[in-house]
Amino acid sequence: MLKFLYLYLILGAILVLSCSTNQEEAVQDESQAYELVIIDSVMVDHIGRMMFTDISPDESKYLGYDQNTFDFIITDREGNITHQFNKSGDKPDGIGASLIARPKFINNTQFAVSSRNGVFIYNLDGELEKVIAPNYEIQLNVTFIGADHLHLVDENHVVTRLEGRARQDGGIVEDVNGPRLELVNLERNDFQGIVRMPRASRLADGKIFPLVNTMPFFTVSGNMLYLFFKNDDQFHVYDLHDLEKPEESYIIPFEKFHLITGKDPSNVDNAEFQFELRDIFYGGIQNIIALDDKLIVAYTPGLSDQEFVSATAGIDNSVEMFEAIEKVNKVAAILMRNDGLPLNLIYPDNFSTFQFRDAQGNIYINLESEQEKDYEVVYISRLERLN
């Protein structure tokens, strides 16, 4: 699995309000050390590029998605495939070109899919039960296939990311005052724009940043929403009952995380502004797992300008360039309290990414493998305290 969660570019060319902010660097709590320990695995007899995306509330089945064939795959707890179907394309019950977020169970018999055409609800036999279409024009220029951009709040509400409300002049620049996420009511069949760019974020300083760097990443846990941005070293904590402004904003205690510099808006034509390949390879959030009072984050630190030049020297092909950069821009993981205090974390050397967590606090992860396999596997891990 590519560590960028398979960046998918859909461009013609390849291209606020924080009530309180903790801006000081957090001091690492050396008294607390944890290890991500693998305790089990699930293997599926499937050839492709399947990602495991969720476990049902009763923990009897897994949901997956093949990134090559665009098939949805449902298995039992042992990994035996029970259902497999394809809903891509313009068929009557299809989602369109592709999904834009990991599909998620909303209960034991239905799952939700987010696409540029809205949120689709299917049963386990693949029958379409409902479509909630947005009441505005969706504009998606950049999508990370496999991004965790759909989260269940309760059985009647999900939060997802759909671009368009905040777009400026048809370009790839967003109005910082526009909503970043959508709260979807599955009963009333409507969308509500939520969460503006927090004032505490460096992305709200008046400079222009490409969408590939300002894309929101988030997770929901209990009554809280944790908001990150792909190339920002802060995160923001919201109460789901009051999404007008974050309760707190905190520095993320990265050891290394390269930040892109914004452009002066007086020198930028929003309608013509395009990002360059270099922009993709700054630091990047991949996904976030919430565990009680802790957050564990998968990210890539990105490359400095010199590292980028060295990694891509003599390479003209964009695919080969991605592969070369992947070798040096390794996925890392960081553990912190939900107030930003860093905690020591040991995790497997060949860690690739997080998939999801279950109700028992088990974290499903991928590990790198240099060998081609005729099966898919996800590893079940637990966060264990060492002292």
Q: What is the pLDDT of residues 117-148, one digit of tens each?
A: 999 999 999 999 999 998 887 776 567 767 89
Q: Could you tell me the two tokens for 230?
A: 């792909």
Closest CA to 34 of 301, 300, 293, 339: 293
Residue 146: predicted pLDDT: 74
**C-alpha to C-alpha distance for 352 and 372, rounded to whole angstroms:** 16
Residue 97: predicted pLDDT: 80
Residue 167: predicted pLDDT: 58
Q: 186: buried, middle or exposed (CB in 10 Å: 19+, 13-18, 0-12)?
A: buried
* Phi, psi angles (nearest 5°) of residue 220: -120, 130
b or e along 277-303 (b: 16 or more beta carbons within 10 Å of the residue's beta carbon)?
A: bebbbbbbbbbbbbbeebbbbbbbbbb
Given a cut of 50, the residues of the chain with pLDDT beneath it are 1-25
**C-alpha to C-alpha distance for 361 and 345, rounded to whole angstroms:** 16
Residue 272: predicted pLDDT: 56
Contact 358, 365 (CB under 8 A): no
Closest CA to 209 of 281, 274, 304, 272: 274
Residue 30: predicted pLDDT: 55
Residue 271: predicted pLDDT: 53
Residue 1: predicted pLDDT: 38
The partner residues of 119 in beta bridges, in order of sequence, read: 114, 132
Residue 13: predicted pLDDT: 31
Residue 276: predicted pLDDT: 83
Domains belonging to the chain, first-starting first, are 7-385 (2.120.10.30)
